[in-house]
């Protein structure tokens, strides 16, 4: 196999196609970012930065595994098995993150429920004062929670596998065409990152137009539920 040939071009096109399709068919690649952006009030710029950060970790993890397998002469079946194990770990971690965020969101929703207290004035006038506890005790924790979520997602995405990439890397490596290996990895990474950021941007724009009405206080719980459902899909192979 020559460095630049019809076969290499076909591999690069395949890598781009697989990168786009595996991202489109995996809601875990974009829904968690849309959900967190809506619940935490992230700007689109911050959301895309977090998405790109996690996407780079996601692709880099599989590229490094493939490169290590090539150097060590590992079999394709062995690398795919490792990717499967990584996928299970990532799925359980994302499920844990989603369930914890769901529980925290439900707690916040209960705290933010509007209720009334009767107030009696000195002149005997009685009126009901409606309020919630949205502002109470939240400010010291808001920054910590905001910083934790991107790092938690990054860890999940680093462990998350790109199973389809491994065979694409192993084929040119078996022909000792390491330039083609690099090209395939670069094309796959670019296609995956471009698709992730495009889907997240579209999702965020759509989510802003989605009226929650009285469900607004459940926004964190809904985000946790969305992340949990994505994780469940990963674990059952959807």
Instruction: Give every CB contact of residue 76 below 8 A, 6+ residues apart in sequence.
Output: 166, 167, 170
Q: Which residues pair with 129 in a beta bridge?
A: 117
pTM: 0.77
pLDDT, position 87? 82
Instruction: Give every CB contact of residue 106 below 8 A, 6+ residues apart in sequence.
Output: 218, 221
pLDDT, position 80? 76
- What is the enclosing helix (H) or strand (E) of 128? strand 126-131
Distance of CA 138 to the CA centre of its chain: 25
N- to C-terminal Cα separation, the chain: 36
Per-residue pLDDT of the chain in tens (238 residues, 90 and over written 9): 555 678 889 999 999 999 999 999 888 899 999 988 988 888 999 999 999 999 999 899 888 888 888 887 777 777 778 878 888 888 898 898 889 888 888 887 777 654 444 555 555 555 555 544 444 444 444 444 445 667 888 888 888 877 778 888 888 888 888 888 899 999 999 999 999 999 999 999 988 877 766 667 788 888 888 888 888 887 886 5
Distance CA(185)–CA(177), nearest Å, equals: 13
pLDDT, position 112? 61
pLDDT, position 144? 42
pLDDT, position 153? 83
């Amino acid at each position: 196999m020559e460095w630049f040939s019809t076969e290499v071009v076909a591999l690069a096109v395949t890598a781009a196609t697989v990168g786009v399709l595996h991202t489109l068919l995996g809601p875990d690649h974009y829904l968690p970012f849309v959900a967190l952006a809506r619940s935490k009030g992230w700007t689109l710029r911050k959301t895309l930065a977090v998405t790109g950060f996690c996407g780079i970790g996601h692709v880099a993890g599989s590229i490094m595994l493939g490169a290590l397998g090539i150097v060590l002469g590992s079999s394709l079946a062995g690398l795919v098995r490792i990717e499967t194990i990584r996928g299970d770990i990532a799925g359980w971690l994302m499920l844990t993150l989603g369930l914890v965020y769901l529980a925290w969101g439900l707690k916040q929703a209960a705290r933010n429920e509007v209720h009334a207290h009767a107030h009696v004035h000195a002149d005997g006038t009685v009126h009901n004062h409606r309020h919630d506890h949205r502002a109470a005790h939240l400010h010291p924790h808001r920054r910590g929670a905001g910083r934790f979520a991107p790092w938690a997602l990054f860890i999940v995405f680093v462990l998350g596998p790109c199973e389809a990439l491994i065979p694409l890397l192993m084929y040119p490596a078996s022909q000792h065409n390491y330039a083609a290996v690099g090209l395939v990895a670069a094309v796959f990474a670019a296609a995956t990152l471009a698709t992730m950021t495009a889907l997240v941007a579209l999702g965020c724009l759509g989510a802003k137009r989605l009226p929650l009405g009285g469900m607004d206080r459940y926004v964190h719980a809904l985000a946790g539920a969305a992340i949990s459902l994505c994780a469940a899909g990963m674990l059952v192979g959807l």
